[in-house]
């Protein structure tokens, strides 16, 4: 898949940020390596945000295909995983694509949005890639390069997230952290257009190039 840059055009604002108690990623700076259980799956991605220091995250929420909504817990907050792309957390270095891994329950998920500096959320509720994680699957969901108020072709500045795919490069990186899982790594099969209730600060749509419509 070729690199594409998707501008997150401002559509609607909401004062309250989306709260979420989500699964944290595996801390690869520590020697402990938690292993997925038989009903678990593993999300794998690489993130690059050389111009965005701070506590930033990509959000993956559980998704109910029948109801067309994000799955929430008893507290009413989304269930899923948050994967940090900060370069001040977990030893990331500017200029590198940093490996990120989360062990999650198998099921249906949506790439729901991203946070900037832990206090501003771009939510992809007007259309987002959804995908299914089978029990025992090790799934690569792409490389993501983050931009804050990047200058676009029309001269305006907007938040943006560039997507690209490098399965074999990611497999090599994964082998250093989880050698037993690397050969099982497979690319995701996203379907664009999943919608859900908007919660956050900026509401937009985000699509992955070459995904199903």
pLDDT digits (tens, 9 = 90+) for 40-95: 999 999 987 666 556 678 899 999 999 999 998 877 888 887 776 654 444 455 55
Domain ranges of the chain: 4-28+36-203
CB 112 within 8 A of CB 72: no
Element spanning 152, H or E: none
Write down the residue that tokens 């108020």 correspond to.
149
What are the tokens at 36?
A: 């997925």
Tens digits of residue pLDDT in 29-49? 888 899 999 999 999 999 876
Report yes or no: 133 and 41 within 8 Å, Cβ to Cβ.
yes
Residue 96: its H or E element: none
Q: List b or e across 46-64, with b for residues whose CB sees 16 or more CB atoms inside 10 angstroms.
A: bbbbeebebebbbbbbbbe
- pTM for this one? 0.82
Q: What is the pLDDT of residue 52?
A: 58
Residues 20 and 82: their CA atoms lie apart, in Å, by 9
| pLDDT given for residue 142 in this prediction | 95
């Amino acid at each position: 898949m070729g690199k594409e840059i998707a501008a997150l055009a401002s559509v609607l604002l909401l004062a309250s940020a989306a709260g979420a108690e989500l699964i944290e990623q595996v801390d690869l700076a520590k020697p402990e390596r938690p292993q997925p259980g038989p009903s678990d799956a593993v999300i794998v991605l690489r993130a690059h945000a050389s111009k965005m220091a701070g506590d930033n995250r990509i959000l993956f929420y559980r998704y109910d295909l029948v109801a067309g909504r994000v799955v929430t817990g008893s507290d009413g907050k989304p269930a899923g995983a948050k994967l940090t792309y900060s370069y001040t957390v977990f030893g990331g270095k500017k200029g590198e694509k940093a490996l990120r891994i989360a062990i999650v329950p198998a099921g249906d998920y949506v790439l729901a949005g991203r946070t900037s500096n832990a206090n501003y959320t771009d939510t992809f509720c007007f259309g987002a890639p959804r995908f299914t994680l089978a029990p025992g699957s090790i799934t690569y969901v792409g490389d993501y390069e983050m931009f804050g108020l990047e200058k676009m072709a029309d001269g305006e500045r907007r938040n943006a997230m560039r997507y690209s795919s490098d399965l074999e490069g990611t497999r090599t990186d994964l082998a250093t952290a989880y050698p037993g899982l690397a050969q099982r790594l497979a690319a995701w099969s996203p379907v664009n257009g999943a919608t859900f209730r908007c919660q956050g600060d900026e509401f937009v749509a985000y699509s992955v190039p070459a995904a199903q419509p």
